[in-house]
Amino acid sequence: MKAALLKTLGVPLAIEPISDPLAGTGEVIVDVVAAPVLSYALEVFSGERRYPIELPIVPGCGAVGRVRTTGPDATQLQPGDWVFCDPTVRSRDDALMPDIVLQGWSSRGEGGKLLQRYFHDGPFAERMRVPTENAVRIGEIEPADATRWCALNTLLVPYGGLLASDLRAGEILLVSGATGNFGSACVAVALAMGARCVVAPGRNAQALADLKRRFGERVHTVALTGDETTDRKHMQQAAPGPIDCVMDLMPPSVPATTVRAAVMAVRPYGRVVLMGGVGMLGGPGLELPYPWIMRNDITLRGKWMYPKEAVTLMTGLIRAGLLDLGHFDVTTFALDDANEAVAHAAANGGPFRMTVIMP
């Protein structure tokens, strides 16, 4: 089969034949129909982002395709089934604290390295091997729609945070980082889940206006000033009532004060979920006041990625018409043009934009 190989950091992907993957027990071979290209893929492939990957590797993160063959223990999957290849691979030998890797993309810790060495290659190829539980059925779709279903890759990340927050229909959510790629997706998912209102702060006036245009009166935008106290006040005033939950999806480059302004806008007895990157590049941490957390009975938790059932649940939101994949603009490339796809993704990132390789 043909694949795009990353052999050396800083060198273009090599498009060449490699051996077909073989399925063992607990594994599935999927014919890749569409694979999203993350906007920062070029930074990973150049070595600018020092991801712990072992080369050579067929890269990529997540895909939509059809089951080709299954291992002997599969009981539901059938050849021809449309599936989302969930890149979040969990080790099977510790149910309490599994090691987790993103197949074809990154790993964490020594256990993650071991797991990545086995479930190594990603979807920039005609076929890929995934754990059986990571080939999640999405139902029948038209082949032409496979590229839009790659939006699952983006939507699932904030969905994991919203599930962790126990967001309930009728509640008010504040999305810190609402004008970013994951933040804008979070707005869409929260509304699909029945949020009464989403408060969307940001500095990009055009992106804020676009959120309002797409989703209407249930989105209340706030232009950030950079002053922590002022911004917090404006967020609270924009909400039609006390803010029940805050979801932070800010990138590492954002000052901690910007994130803290949003986090501390939550009501007493409210919930906060942290999925962003404050402190990852050094500098001050979030530094939330202990008395504020304790006396206001704030629930504060971190969340990385999403639970195993999230793909099936989100597929239900899409099938019900509550979440419209039509919001996403997609640009496609052939596998032979993988390097052009990576460059395009770097230059054309942002809310509701996708670059997709179609092997």
Task: Evaluate if residue 66 carries a pLDDT over 90.
Answer: yes
Q: Which of 139, 45, 132, 126 is nearest to 86 (CA)?
A: 132
CATH of 155-302 given 3.40.50.450, 3.30.2310.20, 3.90.180.10, 3.40.50.2300:
3.90.180.10
d(CA 249, CA 184): 10
3-state secondary structure 257-277: HHHHHHHCCCCCCCEEEECCC
Residues of the chain with CATH 3.90.180.10: 2-151+328-358, 155-302
Bond before 56 cis per omega within 30 degrees: yes
Q: Tell me, what's the pLDDT at 133? A: 97
- Write down the pTM of the prediction: 0.95
pLDDT per position as a tens digit, 3-62: 999 999 999 999 999 999 999 999 999 999 999 999 999 999 999 988 888 999 999 999
Nearest partner of 252 among 235, 222, 275, judged by Cα: 275
pLDDT value at residue 248: 98
Q: What is the CATH number of domain 2-151+328-358?
A: 3.90.180.10
Over residues 334-352, the pLDDT tens digits come to 999 999 999 999 999 999 9
The helix-helix angle for 205-215 and 181-192 (nearest 10°) equals: 20
**Rounded Cα–Cα distance for residues 316 and 304 (Å):** 22
136-140, 226-230, 239-243, 279-283: which range is least confident on average? 279-283
Residue 309, pLDDT > 90, answer yes
Reported as a pLDDT band with limits 50, 70 and 90, residue 279 is: confident
pLDDT of residue 108: 85
Task: For 84-107, write each residue's pLDDT tens digit.
Answer: 999 999 999 999 999 999 999 999
Residue 280 has pLDDT above 90, yes or no: no
Q: What is the DSSP letter of 6?
A: B
Q: What is the pLDDT of residues 314-335, one digit of tens each?
A: 999 999 999 999 999 999 999 9
Average pLDDT taken over every residue of the chain: 96
Predicted confidence (pLDDT) per residue in 252-271, tens digit: 889 999 999 999 999 999 99
